[in-house]
Structure 1
Amino acid sequence: MKKILYYLFTKTIGLYVNLLSYVFLDKATQLAYSLFSEPREGRLTAAKLPKILQETAAETFQHNGHDIQTYTWKGNNTVILLVHGWESNASRWKKMVPYLKKSGSTIIAIDAPAHGLSSGKEFNIPQYAKSIDFIVQKFKPQYLIGHSLGGKTCLYYQSVYQNNTIEKMVILGSPSDFKIILDNYIAMLSLNSKISKGLEAHYLHHFKLKLEKFSAKHFATKIKTKGLIAHDTNDTVVLFEEGKKIASTWKNSIFIETNGLGHSMHDDGLYKKVSHFLFETE
């Protein structure tokens, strides 16, 4: 019943946007973009923080008119930055943090724009990357770990900012081709060609890249940092082939295929491999 109601809801929204496009195309396109870029889940309240975040030193930073929320497990001078994905927040790392803490490292998790305790209503990768750069400049992490769209944002960040302080990156369950994500959204709402072309023009104008180039596979070609990519064959949110695309162009990376973990990628065995990758002696 819930699936039927959700189907009817999405198609009704799509019909409204399509009808609006024949009268006010710009307004319809902006509405379609807002629906696409505003997360519906992942928010937190300071009064009800998950337990894993209550044990951290939480800090809120102001940058470009927005609040950026971070959580720090204090340790030594080795710093790891954790970057979550869409409709999530810093608490998603609760199962990985114990493995990283064994190294004695300082661990910092960030809430993305419009997620957790960070401010904003809109989420997009370039904006997220700006937040990451602000935190990187402040805390100088040697390691980046990203999940899902957080992983893709890490790849975008390093390809654009080329930060030499980043020694290694771990990318978990990350999508490659943004066009696939956008096309799925357009199909879900049955949006017409006017809206489809309008959305593509919006991204070209704001990101200065054609959608075909706004891909993690493309970003990876510019990255020299050593990387580990892990993707699960049973991931129904981001298909396994997306991880393979990234690995195919990231020359200085290794690829781990997992089975039965789904999109969350929570697994003791995987976390041990991640720790070994980060802290192995050369």
Structure 2
Amino acid sequence: MGFKEGIRFITLKSVGQYINFLSYVNPEKAAQLSYALFSQPREGRLTKESLPQVLKNTRTEIFHHNEHEFQTYTWEGNETKILLVHGWESNAARWQKTLPHLQKSGSTIIAIDAPAHGQSSGKEFNVPLYAEFINKAVEKYHPTIIIGHSIGGAACVYHQHLYPGTSIKKMVILGAPSDLQTLINNYISMLSLNDKMIPLLENRFINRFNFKLEDFSGKKFASNFTIKGLIAHDIDDTVVAFEEGEKIASTWKNSQFIATNGLGHGMHNDELYQKVVDFLFSEV
């Protein structure tokens, strides 16, 4: 663990201790603070003035959805359209290494900035809202392919569950979590939150989204999918456990699963991308 990571670790533990203290004296405040920490990204913002090079020569578009605005970037190509959905504390620029592989197909490629990430508005990130952003983009661009990384992959899976009859024919999921419960458990463990905090945090989700944590499961959602899927997950992923990818693949009838080794959570690898391209364009 480096110095910066060490400081962050100590800070998280201190915050966790404070939330644990609040759980006894002000449970509502403790739940509010713990949810805010869980849902507010600390990294991934972009400004128009300092866009990464990869996003500069794109056609950009801003969508309005209720009180939200979200940003898309388009690399023009042929009529085949691919929608790219990034993960936590990231933005559309994360696809820089992926783009050259996809562009060989001549496809039009559209990348989206998640809620509270990139140039999209808001402070709070959550999967249901991300799924709504995805749906607006799907309705506008009619992509036949969607590719999601990490929690972006989970949002793609949730979107497919909510809106099964769209233009999407194939989905690629890289390093994605299956169960919201697993993410919450990881978060509770990271902050060393006490047992009193677990129901407080879970109730926060029930009240906010009107679903129980155990109902939010990629494994459950994928069991009804008819589109073709490719799920890839790295054995050494320390951010989202390998078993999460296996869960999604286990019930998805029309899918294939690729286990990689040594790529970590980022999943950037020429060999893997070649397999993705083969899945997308070589099959009859």
Instruction: Give, in angstroms, the shift of residue 3 of structure 1.
Output: 4.2
Q: For the residues of structure 1 that align with 2:210 and 2:224, how far apart are their CA atoms? A: 17
Percentage of pairs with the same residue: 60
Q: For the residues of structure 1 that align with 2:135 and 2:38, how far apart are their CA atoms? A: 24
Number of aligned positions between the proteins: 282
Decide which moves more: 146-155 or 177-186: 177-186
Pairing partner for 1:277 from 254, 262, 279: 279
Decide which moves more: 89-98 or 16-25: 16-25
Q: Deviations over 1:186-225 (max 9, x none)?
A: 1222222332111111222333332222121111112111
Decide which moves more: 11-20 or 219-228: 11-20
Instruction: Give, in angstroms, the shift of residue 149 of structure 1.
Output: 0.5
Instruction: Give, in angstroms, the shift of residue 20 of structure 1.
Output: 2.0
SS of match in other structure, 1:223: coil
* Residues 138 and 166, structure 2, Cα contact 8 Å, conserved in 1: no
Map 1:154-233 → 2, pairs under 5 A = 154-233=156-235
For 2:103, the equivalent position in structure 1 comes to: 101
SS of match in other structure, 1:166: coil
Instruction: Give, in angstroms, the shift of residue 102 of structure 1.
Output: 1.3
Q: Deviations over 1:159-190 (max 9, x none)?
A: 11113311000001111122121112112222
Q: For the residues of structure 1 that align with 2:6 and 2:146, how far apart are their CA atoms? A: 40
For 1:152, the equivalent position in structure 2 comes to: 154
Q: For the residues of structure 1 that align with 2:275 and 2:182, how far apart are their CA atoms? A: 30
* Residues 85 and 146, structure 2, Cα contact 8 Å, conserved in 1: yes
For 1:135, the equivalent position in structure 2 comes to: 137
In the alignment, structure 1 residue 20 sits paired with structure 2 residue 22: yes
For 2:93, the equivalent position in structure 1 comes to: 91
Q: For the residues of structure 2 that align with 1:151 and 1:228, how far apart are their CA atoms? A: 11
Map 1:4-43 → 2, pairs under 5 A = 4-43=6-45
TM-score (norm 2): 0.95
TM-score (norm 1): 0.96
Q: What RMSD in Å do the two structures reach over aligned CA positions?
A: 1.3
Instruction: Give, in angstroms, the shift of residue 92 of structure 1.
Output: 0.6
Cα–Cα, structure 1 residues 30 and 75, in superposed 2: closer, same or farther, change >3 Å? same
In the alignment, structure 1 residue 255 sits paired with structure 2 residue 257: yes
Q: For the residues of structure 2 that align with 1:203 and 1:23, how far apart are their CA atoms? A: 21
Instruction: Give, in angstroms, the shift of residue 98 of structure 1.
Output: 0.9
> Which runs of 5 or more residues in structure 1 are unaligned?
none
Q: Deviations over 1:227-268 (max 9, x none)?
A: 001111121111211111111011110111111111111111
Q: For the residues of structure 1 that align with 2:24 and 2:155, how far apart are their CA atoms? A: 35
Instruction: Give, in angstroms, the shift of residue 281 of structure 1.
Output: 4.2
Q: For the residues of structure 1 that align with 2:64 and 2:45, how far apart are their CA atoms? A: 18
Q: For the residues of structure 2 that align with 1:60 and 1:116, how far apart are their CA atoms? A: 12
Pairing partner for 1:62 from 61, 64, 82: 64
> Which runs of 5 or more residues in structure 2 are unaligned?
none
SS of match in other structure, 2:84: strand
